[in-house]
């Protein structure tokens, strides 16, 4: 068929699309024009032959033009379908053989795909870097928030301690002030006591002087008593000489003598007492002098204590003032720290929001695939064939065909599965035993809820790619896989490929021997079409 129209396609390929269209229109009108123009010139039989040949040529040209244009349109539709599904054809070359305009359109579509591929790759790289940076920033802000909160708590504790210290310093200053006042009063009392001791010392000195004067007087009395005794002896001698006439005088002389003896004895006793009194007074005077000197030193010490207490009170007041200033500074620092903590929390929230937006950007860019374009194109074509099969034959017949291991939708490792609106498995040719089961929350070996992701894609754009980790049943190892899904008539159809050609690679450090089923049950709620 293609060979039959090849000459016409070759001619049309070297013409402008408008010229080819005009030529087709001219050929369609050629039989009628020839019949009208040559009806009087040619015989009827020849005219019929000419009109028939021109009609066949016009039909040949129209069919050639139709197949020629439809071939290019089919190529472009396939390319745009693959682009719409998120597959970027960065390494596909233009192979259109149609008109110049169709070739230009085909090349332009491929250029758009190439440009989008470069943009997506750059955006994906930048988005990954932004997500990694925002994650680091968010973690750093979280740590900074914790440290700022700890610092704020420490400052609050320090502020409380400084308030207690300030109160203690104030009490110390007040106590020192009271002690200084009491020391001043004690100094005055000590000064008064020193003055009294001086007065006592003067009195003791006066008593000592008086005692010494009494001693002198007693010495005089003793001398008088001695002279009186001598006179009494002389009088007795003279009375003895006078005989009887001097007897009365002798008696008087005896009495005088006896009185002189008693006076002398009394003087001796008084002198002894006066001597003891003088000694006691002297000792008392010395003690008073010592007490006076002690009181003088006490007054000096009290004065020094008063000065020291005054200095301590002044230092305590200065310390209290300094502690209050420090407490005020700590309060300001605590306020600033609280403000910083609020700013850090805002920055952390912003970083988290930034990370969330970066993650969404990564997910959005992840819808465009730039790897394994040929395999992805094959998978998309297989799913779209299944979509058309569902539209033509209905869901029930299509699911029966999808469950047939030898059916048209099982091609080597490629097979199309089907999910119902409530997440129930409708078709799964490799393992029909799981048909009818619902495992929407089952996760892949990396912890990703694949069914939820498929549900999100199906309810969103209605078609797209979902990446996940899959245990290869042939090797038993974890490999990254990508599945293309599309919603149609209340169900979801899908087909997956390995993201690495050998299908045995591991991703993100996930160990190969993670427990789990060999085939994750991909389920989702479809979007009706």
Domain boundaries along the sequence of the chain: 145-350, 371-529
Q: Residue 367: its pLDDT value, please?
A: 58
pLDDT band at 388 (very low <50, low <70, confident <90, very high): very high
Residue 516: per-residue pLDDT: 33
Q: What's the rounded mean pLDDT across residues 270-288?
A: 78
Instruction: Write the CA distances from 129 to 86, 328, 465, 480, integer angstroms.
Output: 22, 45, 22, 21
Q: Is 309 exposed, middle or buried (CB count within 10 Å of its CB: 0-12, 13-18, 19+)?
A: buried
How many other CB atoms sit within 10 Å of the CB of residue 254? 14
The structure's pTM equals: 0.41
CATH class for domain 145-350? Answer: mainly alpha
The answer to whether 456 and 464 are in contact (CB under 8 A) is no
Tell which residue, 7, 313, 37, 273, has the closest CA to residue 184. Answer: 313
Mean pLDDT of the chain: 74
Cα separations (Å) of 445 from 12, 440, 461, 475, 494? 56, 15, 26, 15, 20
Q: What is the pLDDT of residue 190?
A: 76
| Contact present, 465 and 369 (Cβ < 8 Å) | yes
Over residues 27-75, the pLDDT tens digits come to: 666 677 766 777 777 777 777 777 777 777 777 666 666 665 666 666 6
Structure tokens at 495: 């087909």
User: 157-200: per-residue pLDDT in tens?
Assistant: 887 877 787 778 778 777 877 877 877 787 787 778 778 777 87
pLDDT confidence of residue 529: 38
Q: What angle do CA 504, 509, 513 make, to 5 degrees?
A: 60
Alpha-carbon distance 311 to 318, whole Å? 10
Pick 371-529's CATH classification: 3.30.450.20, 3.90.1150.10, 3.40.47.10, 1.10.10.10.
3.30.450.20
Instruction: Name the nearest CA neighbour of 260 among 236, 217, 218, 227.
Output: 227
Residue (of 119, 112, 83, 79) closest to 96 by Cα position: 79
pLDDT band at 512 (very low <50, low <70, confident <90, very high): very low
Q: What phi and psi values does residue 3 have, to the nearest 5 degrees? A: -65, -35
pLDDT digits (tens, 9 = 90+) for 417-471: 999 877 788 999 988 888 988 888 888 888 888 888 888 888 877 888 888 888 8
What pLDDT does residue 509 have? 35
Look at 321 and 505; give whichever has higher pLDDT: 321
CA dist 296 to 190, 195, 301, Å? 8, 9, 9
Distances (CA, A) of 516 to 73, 207, 471, 493: 46, 122, 8, 24
Per-residue tokens: 335: 């306020």
């Amino acid at each position: 068929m293609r060979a039959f129209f090849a000459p016409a396609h070759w001619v049309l390929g070297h013409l402008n699309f408008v010229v080819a269209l005009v030529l087709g229109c001219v050929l369609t009108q050629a039989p009628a024009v020839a019949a009208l123009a040559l009806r009087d010139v040619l015989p009827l039989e020849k005219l019929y032959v000419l009109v028939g040949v021109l009609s066949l040529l016009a039909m040949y040209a129209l069919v050639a033009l139709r197949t020629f244009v439809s071939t290019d349109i089919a190529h472009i539709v396939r390319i745009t379908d693959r682009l719409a599904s998120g597959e970027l054809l960065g390494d596909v070359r233009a192979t259109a053989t149609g008109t110049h305009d169709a070739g230009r359109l085909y090349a332009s579509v491929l250029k758009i795909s190439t440009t989008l591929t470069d943009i997506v790759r750059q955006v994906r790289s930048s988005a990954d870097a932004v997500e990694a940076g925002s994650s680091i920033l968010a973690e750093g802000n979280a740590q900074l928030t914790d440290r700022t909160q700890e610092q704020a708590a420490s400052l609050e504790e320090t502020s409380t301690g400084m308030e207690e210290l300030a109160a203690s310093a104030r009490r110390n200053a007040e106590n020192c002030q009271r002690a200084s006042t009491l020391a001043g009063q004690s100094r005055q009392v000590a000064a008064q006591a020193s003055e009294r001791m001086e007065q006592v010392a003067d009195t003791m000195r006066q008593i000592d002087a008086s005692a010494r004067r009494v001693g002198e007087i007693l010495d005089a009395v003793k001398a008088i008593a001695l002279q009186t005794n001598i006179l009494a002896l002389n009088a007795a001698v003279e009375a003895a000489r006078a005989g009887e006439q001097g007897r009365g005088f002798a008696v008087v002389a005896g009495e005088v003598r006896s009185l002189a003896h008693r006076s002398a004895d009394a003087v001796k006793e008084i002198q002894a007492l006066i001597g003891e009194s003088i000694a006691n007074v002297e000792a008392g005077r010395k003690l008073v002098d010592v007490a006076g000197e002690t009181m003088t030193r006490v007054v000096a010490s009290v004065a020094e204590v008063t000065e020291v207490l005054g200095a301590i009170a002044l230092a305590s007041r200065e310390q209290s003032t300094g502690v209050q200033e420090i407490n005020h500074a700590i309060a300001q620092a605590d306020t600033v720290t609280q403000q910083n903590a609020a700013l850090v929390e805002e920055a952390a929230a912003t970083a988290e929001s930034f990370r969330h937006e970066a993650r969404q950007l990564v997910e959005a860019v992840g819808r465009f695939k730039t790897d394994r374009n040929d395999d992805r194109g094959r998978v998309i074509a297989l799913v779209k064939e299944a979509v058309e099969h569902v539209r033509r034959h209905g869901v029930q017949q299509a699911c029966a065909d999808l469950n047939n291991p030898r059916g048209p939708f099982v091609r080597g490792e490629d097979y199309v599965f089907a999910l119902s609106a409530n997440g129930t498995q409708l078709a799964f040719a490799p393992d029909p035993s799981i048909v009818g089961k619902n495992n929407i929350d089952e996760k892949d070996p990396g912890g990703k809820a694949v069914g939820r992701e498929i549900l999100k894609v199906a309810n969103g754009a209605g078609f797209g790619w979902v990446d996940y980790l899959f245990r290869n049943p042939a090797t038993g190892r974890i490999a990254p896989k990508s599945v293309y899904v599309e919603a149609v008539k209340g169900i979801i159809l899908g087909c997956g490929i390995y993201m690495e050609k050998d299908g045995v690679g591991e991703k993100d450090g996930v160990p190969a021997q993670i427990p789990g089923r060999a085939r994750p049950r991909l389920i989702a709620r479809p979007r009706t079409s």
